[in-house]
Amino acid sequence: MIIDCHAHFEPRMLAADQVIAKMDAAGVDRIVFIPAMNDPLPHTPELLLKAVRVLLRAGARPVVEAVHRHTIRDPGFVEVSGEKVAIYPQPDNASVAALVAENPERFASWIFLNPAHDPDVLDTLERWRHEPGMIGVKLHPHWHDWELERAWPLLARCEELGLPVLIHFGFGPRGDFREMCERFPRLTVISAHAGFPFFQALWKHADRYPNLHVDLSSPYLSERLVRATVARMGAHRCLYGSDAPYGFHEDDGSYDYREILGWVGRLNVSSTELDGILGARFAELTAR
């Protein structure tokens, strides 16, 4: 059973029927979508992504943070490859909820919330959490630009409800994963992109915070980085994700599922661990 726990629903790049065709071709059983929080992003050059990986692993986080702050200096936009792309303060949960309701066998969804822009965020959670297939909460303090303490009441509620949280951490107080894991020890925390922007600075806390997990999605990573992540975090903390439709492309420019599945398939782990990474562990974490 292969579950992609981190893909974006972006029909302007890949319509639902194209997604299903790709899932069938790649053997992906289920996708957990992230509702759209931005206009479609242009392609990020691989050289830039590689530079970011090298800088972060070398501990040059302040440099990467300064570049990042430059890309979001105009509120409501992010600059990618010289293009200004709109960021939505309120992600579009409704269209994914409708899609999941139509196709519950193949799709589920994260409820994407923004506590910095939504004074009634607990009500918004209530609104969506009863919809079928809305299995947890997605947060993006990095691009929505908020400090984690703004989410404490929301995270307390997720912990109480047993809802996992997929979070793309930001820098500094926007990414204080230690405080988050300590405050909410029963909350399942999934750090997007192998712990970006911390990587090994996050992995080394795996033993201390049994509730901390990572997904292996996105072109932010490389095969080498994925191997290092699994070695440090342990296979049972690592979850397959793609970041589709962003990242790796077939000749026609559409998302290529083979790349990250290839990295995972070539990991030096047991077949039980491999099954766990590919979906069994995620199914356990989201069983309620």
Could you list the residues that contact Zn ion (CB under 5 A)? 243
Nearest to 244 by CA among 259, 228, 264, 263: 259
Nearest distance in Å: CB 138, Zn ion: 9
- What six digits make up the tokens of 149? 């303490």
Least distance from Zn ion to the Cβ atom of residue 92, Å: 15
Separation of alpha carbons 2 and 175, rounded Å: 29
**Considering beta carbons, is residue 216 or 269 the nearer one to Zn ion?**
216
Tell me the C-alpha distance between 7 and 28, whole Å: 12
Nearest residue relative to Zn ion (C-beta) = 243
Measured distance between the N- and C-terminal CA atoms of the chain, rounded to whole angstroms: 18
Write out the two tokens for 253: 């420019």
Least gap, CB of 8 to Zn ion (angstroms): 6
**Rounded least distance, CB 4 to Zn ion, Å:** 11
**Shortest Cβ distance from residue 136 to Zn ion (Å)?**
14
Are 169 and 162 in contact, with CB atoms under 8 Å apart? no
Q: Which pair of tokens denotes residue 234?
A: 């342990």
Any alpha helices (H) in 14-151, and if so which ranges?
16-26, 46-57, 61-71, 93-102, 121-129
| Beta carbons within 8 Å of 117's beta carbon, 6+ residues apart | 89, 90, 144
Residues 6+ apart with CB under 8 A from 123: none
Q: Which CB, 137 or 269, lies closer to Zn ion? A: 137
Closest to Zn ion by CB, 4 or 243? 243
Least CB distance to Zn ion at residue 140 (A): 8
Distance in Å, CB of 182 to Zn ion, minimum: 25
Structure tokens at 176: 């204080």
Residue 176 vs 243, nearer CB to Zn ion: 243
Q: Which is nearer to Zn ion, 203 or 246 (CB)?
A: 246
CA 8 to chain centre: 9
Residues in the chain: 288
10 vs 243 by CB, closer to Zn ion: 243
On the 0-12 / 13-18 / 19+ scale of CB atoms within 10 A, 144 is buried
With respect to Zn ion, which residue has the nearer C-beta, 145 or 243?
243
